[in-house]
Structure 1
Amino acid sequence: MHGSLRSLEQDAFVESPLHNMDARIKLIFVFAVVLTATLFNNAYLMILIEIYILCIMLFSKIPILNLLKRIIMIIPFGGFITLFQPFIRGESIIFYLGIFPVYSEGLDFGISLFLKFLVAISSVVLLSSTTPMYEVINAGKKLGIPSIMATLLGMMIRYLFVMFDVLESTIKAQKSRALNRKNLGYKELLNTFGSLIGLVFLKSYEQGERTYLGMLSRGYSKDSKIKTLSQRIGVNDIVFLAVTTLVLSLGILSL
């Protein structure tokens, strides 16, 4: 996971037409795709949008397999919900899987829900892989996200990497003291895991206190205004947004 975070941030600085696009346009693209996936239940529309997203990924100059791996890693966190739908929703039984009936309505709903989830995470992975996280936050501020929310998001993302470094150093320290988890029993393993969580929590708490005091010493308050780099929307941005609007509109009108 730690390596995935590092590679994700490195991929965001690759030079490509998609990387050079204004972050506001890419954020609007994600909002439009997620909103469309939420409002419409047509499976063919979801497949069309997913194909469009995969085509856009080809212009990112990031290996398509890396992007697909990130999508596959996220799918289990929400995709497993769709597995239960054919067994709990509907009235028309198609067949029996062992002693469990599979309903037609539940199967259709499960497929639709999975495709919605796939389209949503594909658009988010595309955004995070082609845009530095601080640019996403700045774009959100320019689009109207409250300043305090943008500040909290920025600090959370920034210190997410710091906490992973703390976790990694703690694990290395345990290994340097000849702690081998393979030789531990279940109870000892739980105690070690609990101690590890406690250490990371205490270090994160101390880091938060130091950060807060450092911000206060520099005159930071809720009314402070943080300067963001200004970037003008170009022709490529407008063309991309127009093509996206056209694809979504044609897909919706074809329903």
Structure 2
Amino acid sequence: MKVQHTRVNFEDLTVGGDTPLHRLDSRVKIIFVVVLLFGIAALLHPEIPIVIFTLSTLTSLVIGISPGTLLKRLIVPFSIAIVVLVVVAFTYGGSDEIWYFRGFSVYNESLSFALLLFTRLMASISVLNLFIVVTPVTDAMDALRWFRVPNVVVDLAAMMLRYIQLLSKENVRMTQAKESRCGFSDRLGYVKRMKNLGETGGALILRAFNRSERVYMAMLSRGYSVNSRIVRCKPLAIENALLCVGSIVMVLSLVYIDRVLI
């Protein structure tokens, strides 16, 4: 029995660089991404989402992410998008039937709506992937504090990202230790291998609880509270504020073009 050793490392999601997108204020990027996602959801035609997907993908390649890495990041969400495309195409009703297959009808309206949903998902996923590539997790957390997101939410998110990574590394070490003792040998029965796997998972959960208690006590001993000001965000510069306004105007213009001119 082979157990896959997969370690989660959120630092690997970010591609370092000195491009304008890397230097751009994280608050501007968050505002632009959120507004753009709402704008994509408001589009009624697939042309603009396809353009957004193409531009986001090309930008990701230009700033240094390899095609193989980009494909690995997009293949899972795109697989889900394809499932949505197929399901909606066969279940969404209509009046203009264009294909019939074993009791399932595909209508022109259902196919158009499925294609629209698929392109929306493609565009949204590519935009979020580009945002993750050029924005470190710490900068994103600091920006959320500036947006007055409750401290307990930001702290919890930051700790989850940190300790998921640590627990994944610990899980790899525990699994390798169990394998070195033939805990997952093919000579063992299936029930015994599942028992060993359950013991490893249970030990990992217990270690996670113990670690959380120790970390929380250490934080309290250093004066931490819900209202602690761990990071003090600098004021938003005038040029960044103008970029925020410009990004909102641009997204509204795309929605206007989609609904009126196309």
Both structures adopt the same fold (TM-score exceeding 0.5): yes
User: What is the deviation of 1:201?
Assistant: 1.4
User: What is the deviation of 1:170?
Assistant: 1.3
Aligned position for 1:40: 43
Does structure 1 residue 113 correspond to structure 2 residue 134?
Answer: no
User: What is the deviation of 1:191?
Assistant: 3.0
Q: How many aligned positions are there?
A: 253
User: What is the deviation of 1:161?
Assistant: 0.9
User: What is the deviation of 1:22?
Assistant: 0.9
Q: Distance in 2 between matches of 1:156 and 1:77?
A: 25
Q: Distance in 1 between matches of 2:257 and 2:127?
A: 21
Q: Distance in 2 between matches of 1:62 and 1:36?
A: 26
1:26/1:127 contact within 8 Å kept: yes
| Residue among 216, 219, 222 paired with 1:215 | 219
Aligned position for 2:7: 2
SS at match of 1:18: helix
- Equivalent position amino acid for 1:221 in 2: S
Per mean C-alpha deviation after superposition, the further-off stretch among 215-224 and 41-50 is: 41-50
Give the alignment's Cα RMSD to 1 decimal. 2.8
Aligned position for 1:94: 98
Per mean C-alpha deviation after superposition, the further-off stretch among 31-40 and 88-97 is: 88-97
Aligned position for 1:196: 200
User: What is the deviation of 1:236?
Assistant: 8.1
Cα distance change, pair 215–243 in 1 and its aligned pair in 2 (3 A): closer
SS at match of 2:22: coil
User: What is the deviation of 1:245?
Assistant: 4.2
User: Larger RCO: Structure 1 or Structure 2 (Cα < 8 Å, ≥ 6 residues apart)?
Assistant: 2
SS at match of 1:224: coil
Q: Distance in 2 between matches of 1:58 and 1:231?
A: 32
| Residue among 154, 157, 167 paired with 2:161 | 157
Per mean C-alpha deviation after superposition, the further-off stretch among 79-88 and 147-156 is: 79-88
Aligned position for 2:55: 52
Aligned position for 1:123: 127
1:90/1:104 contact within 8 Å kept: no
Q: Distance in 1 between matches of 2:28 and 2:144?
A: 11
1:22/1:237 contact within 8 Å kept: no
User: What is the deviation of 1:192?
Assistant: 3.5
2:98/2:106 contact within 8 Å kept: yes
User: What is the deviation of 1:60?
Assistant: 2.3
Does structure 1 residue 167 correspond to structure 2 residue 171?
Answer: yes
> TM-score when scaled to structure 2?
0.82
- Equivalent position amino acid for 1:139 in 2: A
Cα distance change, pair 24–8 in 1 and its aligned pair in 2 (3 A): same
Gaps in structure 1 of 5+ consecutive residues: none
- Equivalent position amino acid for 2:60 in 1: M
> TM-score when scaled to structure 1?
0.84
Cα distance change, pair 48–75 in 1 and its aligned pair in 2 (3 A): same
User: What is the deviation of 1:77?
Assistant: 4.7
| Residue among 55, 75, 79 paired with 1:76 | 79
2:77/2:125 contact within 8 Å kept: yes
Cα distance change, pair 14–39 in 1 and its aligned pair in 2 (3 A): same
2:45/2:258 contact within 8 Å kept: no
Aligned position for 1:176: 180
How high is the sequence identity, in percent, across the aligned residues? 28
Aligned position for 2:69: 66
| Residue among 235, 246, 260 paired with 1:242 | 246
Q: Distance in 2 between matches of 1:248 and 1:183?
A: 63
